[in-house]
Amino acid sequence: MSGSCISFAVYLFFFINLILRTLASVVSVGDFNKDFYITWAPDHLNTSTDGRERSLRLDQQSGSAFASNAMFLFGQIDMQIKLIPGHSAGTVVAYYLTSAQPNRDELDFEFLGNVSGQPYILQTNVYADGFGNREERMYLWFDPTADFHTYSVLWNLHQIVFMVDWVPIRVYRNHADKGVPYPRWQPMGLKASLWNGDSWATRGGQDKVDWTKGPFIASFRNYKIDACVWRGNPRFCRGASTSNWWNKPAYRTLTPRQSRLLRWARKYHLIYDYCADKQRFKNNMPKECTFPKF
């Protein structure tokens, strides 16, 4: 083969790889109407004319929900949310990544409403290979109903980091080599919903939804999806590729500042950690609980 043919082949190889990388990743700060579809009760959902803000409504007839058009494998998702003001007992606002059933992986933010004057509870959970039971709960250090706040999840082959206004509140490390399930194979879609969870959400189901306080409305805006779009080819999504920023060595662990913020959040605001619930698990604690949290 002549030198010119070799040069052209090399150029073509790098050009194709560049195109595949471009197709594999998406940075979106855009339009709910373009990036999401409605999965439940379109008459209980309202979107601004520019598509940049969306609200969900819950009443006695129905809740509501929407989901992303694309599936993702690794990246970071940010969403600004303003929660239900006033009496919100029994309601659940959910914002999460989830794979297909039955052996689903899932990363949950669940906001559990409460009676007037009591704080919201933020519950996070991690499902891996179809199993969850990894709940953590905390009070937030601000009123999440007064304004929008940013809730984020960073997900790569090394760690899953839940963040509130860029403050890490939870880290789930990859210990798959030690037999701990970790979401690393299945692409996940982004979903959000508002629904009646009064069988369990507030004080273990003791406080029910007071429909006279409704309708209950939660609002979403300014989402950002910076993740690897799943197209059936894992080559540019999994950890072997560093073309995506979240796979770079700097994101394999928290920075010292992030570690300090995580310790602060957990010391002053954490109210339940499944790894500390010996009554629930007795002598059969989940295996990941034997490893350092961060």
Average pLDDT over residues 107-129: 96
Domain ranges of the chain: 27-290
CA distance 149 to 129: 30
Catalytic residue among 106, 135, 136, 288: 106
CA distances from 177 to 16, 45, 81 (A): 34, 43, 36
Helix, strand or coil for residue 51?
coil
Q: What is the pLDDT of residues 178-234, one digit of tens each?
A: 999 999 999 999 999 999 999 999 999 999 999 999 999 999 999 999 999 998 877
Instruction: Give the per-residue pLDDT at 20.
Output: 45
pTM score: 0.91
Q: Is residue 68 within 8 Å of residue 124, measured between CB atoms?
A: no
Average pLDDT over residues 91-115: 96
Closest alpha carbon to 137 in 8, 276, 230, 260: 276
Does residue 6 have a pLDDT over 80?
A: no
What pLDDT does residue 212 have?
A: 97
Out of 110, 135, 136, 288, the active site residue is 110
Euclidean distance between the first and the last CA atom of the chain, given in angstroms as a whole number: 54
- 106 counts as catalytic: yes
User: Element (H or E) spanning 196, and its range?
Assistant: strand 188-196
Q: Which residue has the higher pLDDT, 21 or 235?
A: 235
27-290 in CATH: which number?
2.60.120.200
